[in-house]
Structure 1
Amino acid sequence: MSQIVQYPLHNVLEARARLGEGPIWDSTQNLIYWVDIYNHRVHQFDPATGKNCFFDVGDVVGAIATAGADRLIMALRHHLAFLNTQTGEVTPILEIEANLPENRLNDGKCDPQGRFWIGSMSSSEKPHANLYRYDADGSLHVMETGLTISNGLGWSPDQKTFYLADSPHQKIYAYDFDSVTGNIINRRTFVDLTHESFHPDGLTIDSQGNIWSAMWDGWCVIRFNPKGEEILRINLPVPLVTSCTFGGKDLQTLYITTASVGLSQAEIEKSFYSGDLFALQTDVTGLPSYNFDK
């Protein structure tokens, strides 16, 4: 049975982002990196000081991961690129789906072996989106097709299961994951939310194998156990909850991104802090944000 728990929730940054997304924890610098997709910004937030700065990367930016000292790998609209976090220089890597102008790259994350996984989304809500894996040797692999909005990637602590959300379908899928080859097989429905009015967005996983999924239009983050059962619901004061990750030196602080895009004036007045960055202290330890190994 699910519990509705009111952890002490803190608005750690009044960012008013249009589409805050993709938070990752940089354990080497104790910083949170996150993106504001439509404002073309990669943000760097220091929880110790409350200071936030950002890089304008000149394009839609859907996802990021650390890629060594002072460098991030990014999924921009139709290509991957590196960002130098000292100079702000953007270095293109390769194009993806440039022949599909109605698509753009969306959520992404590194697996524990340092491979960067990126999903795309179709603006037409037709199943024209895909999931890719970019390896350290520079090779790009198509891992899944027939998606609408690829979202919420994650790996179980034992690295045997890969999770992927397709937001318009209101489902989180599970796959068997081969950590050596990076292959995924045997897709099945892990969570079915078609009875709800909200959609699963970004997710993170804790060390116990529970999945914490941000709910777009849901005003909450839901924690599912490894069987796909809802066991916890964390309410937020904003409707468009987009993603979350564990951070802090003990990986027990859950950082949550939100959005304001598309809200009417009346809705913004009701949820004034839409687009801000939130944090709460949990009683579990999360899995780390993995580095791109190149």
Structure 2
Amino acid sequence: MTPAPLPELSAQNVLYARARLGEGPLWDGDKQVLYWVDILNHRVHVFEPSSGDDCHWDVGDVGSAMALMAGEKLLVAMGDRITHLDLTSGTVETLHTFKFDAPGTRFNDGKCDPQGRFWIGSMCPENPGQAALYRYNPDGSVKTMETELTISNGLGWSPNGDTFYLTDSPQRKIFAYAFDGATGEISDRTVAIDLGDEDESVEPDGLAIDSDGNIWTALWNGGCLACFSPTGQALGRVELPVQRPTCPTFGGPNLSTIYVTTASVGLSQKEIQQGFYSGDVFAIAAPVPGLPTNPFGA
């Protein structure tokens, strides 16, 4: 059966944030809030859609990805370390520090698998092929899962949990792996989506998976979200009024809203004027609900 194309969808600006590098949106279904980061301003934000309120913690480092933890804590990847942020005091505690071989390497996108293990990739754009993907387990152990990456980005799992997706932005590819939930191992890498025909400045960034298994990826410098079927067929795009969307996630009471973070970093004055809302957070009514957020240590 041929997948149905996307209906006509539009993006609504729901938070005038003006972030430099908004990223890592994370939905907390219990609290009905959206956590997100402004990486270069060293801030972890919490946005409450029902009221429109947004507040932040200054964490003192480039926090790039998060996971829900038990209690009033978030797991946060910062620079070269895994930390937890106490949401009551704002205190940051380091749990594990990594040693990267190439200078200029830092953590980038991350997400928990259905079994509660935190997967986090590094980025090293000045040294192509020197980034990697790691798995941080609830017992504190760490395993390297993939190497020879440059900017490890959007991660996700299929609804049935047997496929893992990983993006390497400069390669402009989203890879699919067979995933063993019991062991946490990946194998049999294939190219799920190849965006090599896009303009050379356009790269896939963060991604999210809906309950039908469709893959939604933000196109950095492409000004849109692109949606693909589980078999890689292009289903359509949702245009945004900004040049650099960074990452989508599903949220809202029924997981029927796609929240999208965006960036203003690196844009010229002319580009900022054209994309006046760069750095804001947008929402899209999803045609298919998303999947619940996997917490750390589940």
Q: Same fold (TM over 0.5)?
A: yes
Amino acid at match of 2:29: S
CA distance in 2, matches of 1:40, 1:6: 36
Alignment of 1:161-240 (within 5 A): 161-197=163-199, 198-240=202-244
Q: Secondary structure at the match of 2:174?
A: strand
Q: What does residue 158 of structure 1 align with? A: 160
Contact 1:162 1:184 in 2 (8 A): yes
Of residues 19, 22, 26, the one that matches 1:20 is 22
Q: What does residue 267 of structure 1 align with? A: 271
Q: Deviations over 1:144-185 (max 9, x none)?
A: 000000000000001000000000000000000000000000
CA distance in 2, matches of 1:41, 1:141: 28
Alignment of 1:1-294 (within 5 A): 5-197=7-199, 198-293=202-297
Root-mean-square deviation (Å): 1.3
Moved more, 92-101 or 108-117: 92-101
Aligned pairs, how many?
294
- CA pair 2-148 structure 1, distance change in 2 beyond 3 A: farther
Q: Deviations over 1:253-293 (max 9, x none)?
A: 00000000000000000000000000011221101111001
Question: Tell me, which stretches of 5 or more residues in structure 1 are unaligned?
Answer: none
Contact 2:66 2:75 in 1 (8 A): yes
Offset, 1:9: 2.0
Q: Secondary structure at the match of 2:270?
A: helix
Offset, 1:6: 4.1
Offset, 1:98: 4.5
CA distance in 2, matches of 1:258, 1:80: 24
CA distance in 1, matches of 2:130, 2:122: 9
Moved more, 169-178 or 281-290: 281-290
Offset, 1:103: 0.5
CA distance in 1, matches of 2:101, 2:58: 25
Contact 2:11 2:238 in 1 (8 A): no
Contact 1:3 1:233 in 2 (8 A): no
Q: Deviations over 1:78-134 (max 9, x none)?
A: 100000111100000111134533210000000111000000000314100000000
Q: Secondary structure at the match of 1:153?
A: strand
Alignment identity in percent?
52
CA distance in 2, matches of 1:87, 1:241: 31
Contact 1:26 1:32 in 2 (8 A): yes
Q: Secondary structure at the match of 2:189?
A: strand
Amino acid at match of 1:265: Q
CA distance in 2, matches of 1:66, 1:178: 22
CA distance in 1, matches of 2:223, 2:127: 23
Amino acid at match of 2:70: G
CA distance in 1, matches of 2:278, 2:56: 19
